[in-house]
Amino acid sequence: MVLDVLNGYPFVNWQATNMRQSIVSLFHWFDSSEQMTCYFNHDTLSDLSVTCDGQTFKVHRLILCAHSKYFSKQLNGPWKESSEQVINIQDFDVAMLHFMYNFDYTNVNGTSSMVFEAQIYQIADKYDIDSLKEHAAKKFGAALDVGWPMDDFPLAITVAYTTSPLEDRGLRDLNGNLQSSY
């Protein structure tokens, strides 16, 4: 990985052999998420748009690609999205997309329901955002611990089992641990 310093600020040498690793290392330089939040859904330096349910998000290709292998492949390949700089998402609702995209900038979220966390896990899995997937699994596990007697528990378990690949045990093992505890 090649990382140079110019006037005290790191920048990525774009000739680096492992571009993704270089980009991710650049994000570790930011000492707090506050430095990134001012760019969330803002025209400043935006070079890409994501549309969902009639809503358009102004996004930054660098941030999207650094967090998601899926979008990195899509935006750096011979695809329509790469040339038109527009991504249309039709298989998730706008609330899920908003949370996923906001996570790229803040890496934090508020308290959510079991179903919501299972859905976030699903979108993170589809778009290959490992850190968001891990975050959603932790939040899902915490929600299960306190929410298992709630009315939406069966729905949350259904979402967990029907929206993740069979070989992905992330949410399923949490449910198994809960069952063995009670």
What type of residue is 57?
Answer: F
**Judgement on whether residues 22 and 55 belong to the same structural domain of the protein:** no
Q: Which residues contact 109 (CB under 8 A, 6 or more apart)?
A: 99, 102, 103, 135, 139
Q: What is the mean pLDDT of the chain?
A: 73
Per-residue pLDDT of 72-107, as tens digits, reads: 899 988 989 989 999 999 989 888 888 887 776 665
Report if residue 60 sits inside a domain: yes
Instruction: Give how many domains the chain has, as a whole number.
Output: 3
Going by C-beta distance under 8 Å and a sequence separation of 6 or more, which residues neighbour residue 8?
A: none
Domain range for 3: 1-31
- Tokens read off for 20: 């993704």
| DSSP conformation class of 133 | H
Same-domain check for residues 135 and 156: yes
Tens digits of residue pLDDT in 122-172: 999 999 999 999 999 998 888 887 766 666 777 778 888 888 888 888 887
For position 10, what pLDDT does the model report? 41
Same domain, yes or no: 122 and 174:
yes
* Residues 167 and 145 placed together within one structural domain of the fold: yes
Which residues lie below 8 Å from residue 153, measured CB to CB, with a gap of 6+?
A: 114, 144, 147
